[in-house]
Amino acid sequence: METPTRCQGPVLGLFRIVLGLLFACHGAATLFDVLGGGHGQPPGTGEWPGWWAAVIQLAGGSLVLLGLATRPAAVLCSGSMAYAYFVHHQPDALFPLENGGEPAALFCWAFLLIAALGPGRWSLTDLPVLTAHRKQPGRKEVSDAPGT
What does the pLDDT look like over 126-143, one tens digit per residue?
877 766 666 555 545 443
- What is the model's pLDDT at position 101? 96
Q: Which residue has the higher pLDDT, 136 or 144?
A: 136
- What is the model's pLDDT at position 145? 46
Does the model's pTM come out above 0.95?
A: no
Question: Span 6-26, mean pLDDT?
Answer: 95
Q: Which amino acid is at 59?
A: A
